[in-house]
Amino acid sequence: MTPAPLPEPSDQALVAAYRQGDQRAASELVRRHGPAVARFLYSSGALAADIEDLVQETLFRAFRGLERWRGEASFRSWLFTIAGNLARDAFRRRKGREVISLEDRDLPDRADPDAELAAGELEDRLRAELGRLPRLQREVFLLRAQEGTSYEEIARALGTTPGAARVHYHHAVKRLKELVG
Amino acid sequence: MSGCTRLSDRMPEVVHGRSRWTADEAAHLAACAECRRELALLQATVTLGRRTPRLGDAERMAATIERRLTGIRTRRIGVQRVAGLAAAATLLLAVWTKWPERPVANPAGPSRPAAPALVPLPELELLDPAELDSLLQRMEQPSVGGSTLDAPGLGDLEDTELEQVLATWEG
């Protein structure tokens, strides 16, 4: 009989281990949350070439300010808050420049190039429109649509109420729905 | 809660594969173009997330972050040390500059101006070795009370000492 796999340590346990000097805990936190932060940043309009640096900066700031994370919101939501601030700063710095270009995406080979092109165009328009949404609408929408986060969790992460988060989400959906046929 | 609102609330769960539509929800979706558009939007958003450029090695990134944090900690310790030294230097300077003005219990009263030097310092080359030794010993002794104001004036000298000093001054 094979032993049952050990349960994965919680984020809180990993953070505690890291603060005790366990570097493997930091690696695990990066592995666990880095891709989601990257998705959030990319969907918010960050350039593909900047994603790695922005994710690293997000995690760096998080580790530097760990004492500010009380555990009320999930570690990931807290990272999204930091990433949201970074994305906004990055957007301000390059304001006026083209945000999204086709070269930013690596298009995988697909059987139907027309369908692929149409899907790529939709994603480009979606990213562009997401970048134009008010900040809270964009962050609530991405947390909800892309990560499946509950309104309660979103509210804790973004410092608002679940009801307000729901309203932001529906405003975003109403605006973004125009993009899809 | 309308069917559309209920479906909207459930969409993320279904899109992320954590739940499935019930028969009623599936029927609503089939009949409601707005809900289908919302579902298509969510699916496009999830697909967009999957197109995100892949990150490099997590351990390497964690190590880079740790190096940056170590650099900050080191700089912070350095700044604290420099600040501590600066504070100590400022304190010393303050004590040094204020010391002669320290109020002294003296019968002459507080309005008496500070004398530049109350111990007469004759030209050293004119002193014989015994006088020089005596003077040097007195200079090396800690000043009682720490102030030159406490040093004896000419009026405090014995007659023979006074004569000696006057003779030295006159050459």
Tell me, yes or no, if A7 comes closer than 8 A to chain B by beta carbon. Answer: no
| pLDDT at residue A59, rounded to an integer | 95
pLDDT 10s digits, B48-75: 998 888 888 888 898 899 898 888 777 7
| pLDDT at residue A103, rounded to an integer | 39
What is the average pLDDT across A36-49? 90
Nearest-angstrom CA–CA distance, A51 and A87:
10
Minimal C-alpha gap between B13 and chain A (Å): 6
| pLDDT at residue B126, rounded to an integer | 67
| pLDDT at residue B124, rounded to an integer | 63
Tell me, yes or no, if A173 comes closer than 8 A to chain B by beta carbon. Answer: yes
Q: Write down the pTM of the prediction.
A: 0.63
What is the average pLDDT across B107-116? 54
| pLDDT at residue A67, rounded to an integer | 85
End-to-end C-alpha distance for chain B, whole angstroms: 115
**Could you tell me how many residues make up chain B?**
171
> What does pLDDT average to over chain A?
83
Exposed/middle/buried for residue B147 (C-beta within 10 Å: 0-12, 13-18, 19+): middle
Instruction: Report CB contact under 8 Å: B12, A148.
Output: yes
Q: Are A30 and B58 in contact (CB under 8 A)?
A: yes
**Which residues have CB under 8 Å from A107's CB, separation 6+?**
A116, A120
Minimal C-alpha gap between B7 and chain A (Å): 12
Q: Report whether pLDDT(A54) > 60.
A: yes
Residue corresponding to tokens 């000298």: B157
Report in angstroms the alpha-carbon separations of A63 from A55, A118, B85: 12, 40, 30
Instruction: Report CB contact under 8 Å: A42, B51.
Output: yes
pLDDT 10s digits, A129-161: 998 899 889 989 999 999 898 999 889 888 889
Q: Which of A109-113, B19-23, B92-96 has the lowest mean pLDDT?
A: A109-113
Q: Which two tokens stand for residue B108?
A: 């002459």
Nearest-angstrom CA–CA distance, A130 and A162:
21
Minimal C-alpha gap between B12 and chain A (Å): 5
Q: Report whether pLDDT(A169) > 70.
A: yes
Q: Report whether pLDDT(A75) > 70.
A: yes
Q: Report whether pLDDT(B149) > 50.
A: no
Total Cβ atoms within 10 A of residue A101? 10
Tell me, yes or no, if A179 comes closer than 8 A to chain B by beta carbon. Answer: yes
Report in angstroms the alpha-carbon separations of A27 from A40, A102, B71: 20, 32, 19
Instruction: Report CB contact under 8 Å: B13, A148.
Output: yes
Residues 58-117 (B) with a CB less than 8 A from some CB of A: 58-59, 61-66, 68-69, 72
Tell me, yes or no, if B163 comes closer than 8 A to chain A by beta carbon. Answer: no
**Which residues have CB under 8 Å from B146's CB, separation 6+?**
B99, B102
